[in-house]
Every structure is written in C-alpha cells, then in structure tokens.
Amino acid sequence: MVDVPYDAIPGIPPPGIPPAEVGEVELYHPKSWWTSYVFSQDAKVIAIQYSVTAMSIGMVALVLSWLMRLQLGFPGTFSFIDPGQYLQFITMHGMIMVIYLLTALFLGGFGNYLIPLMVGARDMVFPYVNMLSYWVYLLAVLVLVSTFFVPGGPTGAGWTLYPPQAILSGSPGQEAGIILMLVSLILFIIGFTMGGLNYVVTVLQARTRGMTLMRMPLTVWGIFTATVMALLAFPALFVASVMMLLDRILGTSFFMPALVEMGEQLKYNGGSPLLFQHLFWFFGHPEVYIVALPAFGIISDLISTHARKNIFGYRMMVWAIVGIGALSFVVWAHHMYVSGMNPKFGFFFATTTLIIAVPTAIKVYNWVLTLWRGDIHLTIPMLFALAFIITFVNGGLTGLFLGNVVVDVPLSDTMFVVAHFHMVMGVAPIMAVFGGIYHWYPKVSGRMLNEALGRFHFWVTFLGAYAIFFPMHYLGLLGMPRRYHDIGETAFVPASAHDLNAFMSVAALIVGFAQLVFVFNLIWSLFKGKEAGGNPWGGASLEWQTPQTPPGHGNWGKELPVVYRWAYDYSVPGAARDFVPQNEPPARSPAQGLHP
Amino acid sequence: MSVIILFMAGIAAIAGWWLSQQRLTAKPWLEEGVIADVRGDSAPAKIGLGVFLAVVGSLFALFISAYSMRMNMADWRALPVPRLLWFNTGVLVLSSIALQWAHVAARRDDMDGVIVGLGAGAAFAVTFLVGQLLAWRQLNAAGYFLASNPANSFFYLITAAHGLHLMGGLVALGRTTAKVWRGAEMTRVRLSVELCAIYWHFLLLIWLVLFGLLTGWAGDFIDICRQLLN
C-alpha cells in the first residue's frame, strides 16, 4: 500500500486515520470512590487489581512449594505433611502458578496496563466488560481458595487433573476439592474471555494515529498474540472441565472407563482418559506460549531500552511471535508420549516440537545481537532480562531433549521434567515479570523501587533459582521420580542425592524469603521511594510520554498522541538525546524525506 | 482432534490473510512520519463479536472433536433423534430470518419493522428453547437418560451448550429491544440489531452442524477427517 503522510492534505485526515480527538463522551467517568477504585472501569486500576490478586494467590503457591521442599529435603521430619497433603500441595502449586498467577498477571496485569498506554488509546474498548473480567477472575480465585477449607481439602490429582484418578476416591480432595477446582477453572476461562476480547479489539481498533501494527512495541505484539492463542486454546480446557464435572457429579462416562474400586464395580463404563489428555494438552501446550510470548515481548523492550540500542531484527521478532503462536497449536501431544496414544503420532509431534525451536532460537539470537555493542546499563530490569535469556535458553535446550520420544520416555516421570519446565516456564517468565515490574513500577506509582533491595532480590532469586533447579536435572538423570512423597531407601538413588535435596530445599526457603523482600519493597517504595519523574529510563515508547505520571484518567490529556516512528529509536546518530520518543515529529529539513 | 485442527486451520487462514494486509514486511526503522493505517472502519463492537464468534466456534469444534473420538468406542449406542428437532430447526431458521428482517429494516430507518423483527426473532428463539426442553423430556421419558450412554451424554451436553449461547443472545436481544423502546437514535440501534443478527445466523449455522452430527449425517464427513489425519 502507499504510505500517506498524515499532514499531506491540511484539515482532511487521510483514510484509515481516526480523528485526532476521541470525544470525551466515549470515556467512562467514575462518579464515586467505589467506581474509581473498586468497581473501576479504568484499565489501569483493573491492571493493578489483577496484579495484586495474582501476586497474592502466587504467595500461597510459594508457601505450598516451601512445604513440598521441606518434605522432599527432610523426609520424615515434618509429620504434618502426609502423602495426600503432599499431592495437594503439588497440584495447587502448579495450578496457581501457571494459570492464576502467570496467565492472569501477564494478560490481566501487564496487558491491561500497557496495551492502552503503548498503543496510544484512552482505555480498553469495552471498559465495562473489562471490569467484569476482573471480578469473575477474583471469584475464580476465591472458589480456588475455598477448596482449602472444604472437607477433604483441595484436589491432589496433579495440575493436569488426569482422569480417572482425579475423581476416584484414592485421590485427595475427591469429595469437593475436584468439583470446586473445575468450577474455578470454568469461571477463570469465562473471566479471561471477557478480558481477552478487550485486549485483542483494543490493539486492532484503538491504536492512535500513526501507530501501525509494525510500530507497536514487541510487548504489545507478545500480549496480543498470546491473547489470541488463549482465546482459542482455553475453550479446550473449558470443554474438558465441563465434561469431567459431569463425570464426577452426574456419573456420565466421557472420560471414565469401566473400573473396579475397592472390590466394587463403579457405574462408569467405556470412557476415554486419553480423550481428556488430548483436550487438556490442546490447551496446555499453547498455555506455555501464552505465558512465554508476553515474556518475550517484555524482555525485548527491556533489553532495547536498557542497552540504549534499537531492537535487532524487529520484523523477524514479530514474525517469530506470530509463527510460534501458530505452531504451538500442533505440538500438544509431545506431553503424551507415555500415554499410550498411537506411537506414529510421536514422530509427527517430535518433528513439530523441534520446528518450533527455530523461531524461538531466532528471538534469542536477536536479543543477544541487540546487546552486542550496546550501551548496556546494568539496571535491575536489565539484570532480570539477562537472567531471563540465560534461563530460557537453559530450559529450552532441555526441552529439545524431552521433545524426542526416545529420550522422553525414560525421563518422563523423573525430576528432569520438573527441572525443565520450571526453568522454561517457571523461572524464566517470573524473571520477565520481575524485570517488567521494576521497569514499569515508576510509571504506575511515580516512584522508583528501592535499588539496594532490588539488587538483593535479583541476586538471591537468580542464583537461588539455579541452586534449586540445576541439581534437579541431575537427580532426574539418576532416575529420581517426581510426585513421590518420600523416596525411601532405593538402590539407584545414592545418599548424596538426599543431601542435594536438602540443599535445594534450603535454597528454596531462601528464595521464598527474597520474595517477601520484594513485596516489602513494592509497598515501601510506594510511599518512600525516590520520585521517578515521567521517564526515568529514557524510554522511547508511548507509555513514557504521558502528560502525567502516574497517567491520569484517559491517559493522554486533551489530545491523543500522534506517532511518527517505531518504539526503538535509541542512540540515533545526530539526535539531541539518546532516544527519540515515538510521538516526536521528524525534524523538518529538505534533506530528510519520510522514508530515508 | 481432526475437527478442531481443521477449524484452527480455517482461523489460521483468516489470520494469515489479515496479516498479509498489514504491511508486515514494512521496515519501521526506516520510516518516519505518520503513516496511514490499513485498519478497517468497523465498529469495535463488531470486531469484538467476530473474535467472540471465533471463540464460540472453537468451543463447539472441540465438543465435536470429543464427540467424534468418543463415538468410536465400543459402548456407544446412538440414540434416536426426536422428530421434534426438525420443528425446532425450522423455528430457529425463522428466528434468524426475523432478525435479518430487523437488520434490513434498521438500515431503511423503518423503526416499526425493527420492532416486529426483534419481537418475532425473540419469540421464535424462545420457542426453539422450549422445543429443545420438550425434546429432552421426550428422550428422558423414553429411557434415554443423561448417564446411561455416552451418546446420550453428548446429546444433552451439546444441546445445552448451544441453548445457553442462545439464552445469552436473548439477553443481548432484550437490551437491544429496550434500547429501541426507549427511542434511542437509529444509528445506535442499527449496530445493535446487526450484531444480534450476526450472532443469530452464527448460532443457526452451529445448530445445523450439530444437528447433522447428532442425526448421524455428518458421520461420513467425520470419517473423512479421521482418515485425513490418521
């Protein structure tokens, strides 16, 4: 298509460019304290509500991991952790971390805050639905929490909730825990869909003048693509949850085969547990990238800003995000190599799994090449971004191991898998979350996070995470099984492995403690932090150019910004500063055309 | 899983076509100045509905995938489809036609036509829902209970899911009717009516596919899908 300069025809905006000012009637104005801060329709408030809720429930999952590590590191010492509870801790830890923390925080938290600001919109396009999304999410979290207090406790079926064991009486939480878990997931999906529609349509229709898709920061691309994926993948979990709920409550046999339990023939007949696994992983694998793509985007922006250099290979980064999003829908059965599915499928899914490593590797190369000869500022966000790259590469490489059927089969039920996925979709995305929070906290609060506490938090978390998960690969190779409450005396696990387990548990306690320091820092800096000003990092993207910090209601004052360039104009030769904001008009000189 | 794969391939084709219009080969590091965007001028609500329909489509494609995988197992006993479903299908077609009528009337600024169309559409939709409930009762009376066979379970589950979506649509239709009642501007009414009509046509399409599946006509198609991927 032909590029048209905006001011080519005075007074008449060219086609495709929305009017300069969105009428204020379109923006919802709160009328009371309640509608400003509680039932708010402002995406920024909703973002904070999402983030606080997600981090709060994340702290519960953190404590659960402590309890698990105490049991693994010092078996027999803590008599209050019985085998059933251990399984419940595993299940709730996994479920909370993957869905209620990471998905909600990246999309509901970062998405809500950053999308309107980064694309130059006043708010999300459907603010009321957006508000509803948060409250349904909160309800889902409350239902999840309630499982801790019902008779029998939460489900202990593992975060994958595989039938038939998930609803048999041998599994903890079979009474009410599993029912509430499924209800909570169904609520989460309904709430997410409401938010997701907002994120997608805001990116599509509410971008300001000049903000073409190819000028959007990669954070927006990551969140946008992840949201599209989530909207299409979550229905699989929805269908699986509804069908399992019917199996559990009304005695249907969607997933439940004929079974004899305690000498008694159950009412179930002929169901297919494999069908559940297909549905679950059709959601479950895209879920990995639903968490990873926003992290990719955030890391790209962090690296570019803190290395004062434009992102290397922007186009390729966008294509890689889209490519990964598409490919992630055809790799799901690599989680099912040991499930008894048709073995020929294994070859197909191993191939697609290896193919998806290509665009992912391109992104890693591009981050490294962005750093190459950059003016690297080792700020806390940059430290977290560097830690992300290292950790993601680490977890990605073990993923290549596990993507191959012959390697996966012997390792599948060992700690190696636990180490792999914690590296690639536990530690790595959390590094992106922390990096993002340290980076954007000054915009959200107007104050900087405390530097010393931040550095302490980074080093303890980064080194501690490696102290926990690096030895875990070794334990997995030894054959140490996962999901076991107590390994006991076995010939193949040497005594030194138990010492290693104790070491990892101590590390886990310390890393957990560092997160409390982080939470303290978040609260303390809100009141006592150094004043940040509007743009403390010298960021070029739009969110740093708001007239007020924190941005006011409607984000942009009277007029929406006009975008003249991409989001990565750092260290431009001849420019007055080492960054050129996206909304700074080009210098008018005869020598400089629109497209040099 | 073949049906959902085909559905995703369709979505991927649409997304690919859309992306191909978005200048993804642009070199933003070389471009300065305000560039005209290739954004459509559709209302956000219309785009939002389109995305939502993709989600609903994905949901039903997954139900159908599960259905086609489960029906191959030995315990599957297909249930006789009540003849009432033919009547219900006809009523749903009429409901869709009525909303199309309202949509056309709204474009012609014919407020009376809009009211007639919306009213008739809602009445037919409610009739459809009542008809579905009666079909359930007939099956129940004939001994086809929810849990007695997976074919029955799927029948109740899928028809319930479709019915719930239609009930959600009725809420939107109710709000649109209230808007018309309060004498809102025609431009605002027009969009709401159009969105309702699109949603109705989509649910009709879904129902026709589901009806084909439940009556067994779609069996050959499912077999072909299975052959393709196995």
> Pick from A317, A309, A350, A315: which is nearest to A333 by CA?
A350
Beta carbons of A272 and B54 less than 8 Å apart? no
What pLDDT sits at residue A588? 60
Scanning every residue of chain A, which has its alpha carbon at the shortest distance from the alpha carbon of B13? Answer: A326
Pair A111, A54: CB distance under 8 Å: no
Distance CA B67, CA B70 (A): 5
Domains in chain B: ranges and CATH: 80-217 (1.20.120.80)
Pair A62, A70: CB distance under 8 Å: no
Q: Is the pLDDT of residue A32 over 70?
A: yes
What pLDDT sits at residue B81? 87
- Contacts of A337 by beta carbon, 8 Å cutoff, 6+ apart: A346, A349, A405, A408, A409, A412
Please give the average per-residue pLDDT across A310-319, as a whole number: 96
Q: Is the pLDDT of residue A387 over 70?
A: yes
The pLDDT profile of chain B, 230 residues, written as one tens digit per residue, is 888 999 999 999 999 999 998 888 889 999 888 887 767 778 889 999 999 999 999 999 999 999 998 988 888 888 888 999 999 999 999 999 999 999 999 999 888 899 999 999 999 999 999 999 999 999 999 999 988 899 999 999 999 999 999 999 999 999 999 988 887 888 888 999 999 999 999 999 999 999 999 888 776 777 776 666 55
Q: How many contiguous H segments (helices) and E segments (strands) does chain B have? A: 7, 0
Beta carbons of B28 and A314 less than 8 Å apart? yes
What pLDDT sits at residue B37? 73
Quickly state the pLDDT bin for A18 (edges 50, 70, 90). low
Residues of A in contact with B66 (CB under 8 A): 239, 243, 254, 275, 279
What pLDDT sits at residue B221? 72
Buried/exposed A528-563: b ≥16 CB within 10 Å, e otherwise: ebeebebbbbebbbbbbbbeebebebbbbeeebbbb
What pTM was estimated for this model as a whole?
0.94
Q: Is the pLDDT of residue A100 over 50?
A: yes
Q: What is the 3-state secondary structure (H, E, C) of B135-194?
A: HHHHHHHCCCCCCCCHHHHHHHHHHHHHHHHHHHHHHHHHHHHHHHHCCCCHHHHHHHHH
Tokens of A16: 């495709």
Among A231, A235, A250, the residue with its CB nearest the CB of B147 is A250
Backbone region of residue A373 per phi and psi (left: phi > 0; alpha: psi in -120 to 50; beta: other values): left
What pLDDT sits at residue A5? 42
Answer yes or no: is the ipTM higher than 0.85: yes
pLDDT tens string A172-193: 999 999 999 999 999 999 999 9
Residues of B in contact with A272 (CB under 8 A): 69-70, 73
Residues of B in contact with A586 (CB under 8 A): 32-33
Question: Between these two residues, A48 and A17, which has the higher pLDDT value?
Answer: A48
Beta carbons of A594 and B31 less than 8 Å apart? yes
Strands (E), A248-355: 260-261, 264-265
Residues of B in contact with A204 (CB under 8 A): 39, 44, 47
Please give the average per-residue pLDDT across A38-63, as a whole number: 96
> Pick from A162, A373, A134: which is nearest to A257 by CA?
A162
Q: What is the dihedral of CA B134, B138, B141, B143, to 10 degrees?
A: -130
Buried/exposed B127-161: b ≥16 CB within 10 Å, e otherwise: bbbebbeebbeebeeeebebbbbbbbbbbbbbbeb
What pLDDT sits at residue B79? 87
pLDDT tens string A447-456: 999 999 999 9
- Residues B88, B92, B93, B97, CA torsion sign: positive
Distance CA B79, CA B76 (A): 9
Pair A380, A455: CB distance under 8 Å: yes
Residues of B in contact with A207 (CB under 8 A): 37, 39
Tokens of A202: 């805001």
**What separation, in Å, do the N-terminal and C-terminal C-alpha atoms of chain A show?**
17
Pair B149, B76: CB distance under 8 Å: yes
Domains in chain A: ranges and CATH: 40-255+270-545 (1.20.210.10)
Beta carbons of A212 and B8 less than 8 Å apart? no
Question: Between these two residues, B185 and A59, which has the higher pLDDT value?
Answer: A59
> Pick from B57, B71, B67, B95: which is nearest to B158 by CA?
B67
**Residue of B19, B35, B136 best to disrupt the A interface, most CBs of A under 10 A:** B35
Tokens of A493: 């696990």
What pLDDT sits at residue A11? 43
Beta carbons of A207 and B39 less than 8 Å apart? yes
Q: Is the pLDDT of residue A431 over 90?
A: yes
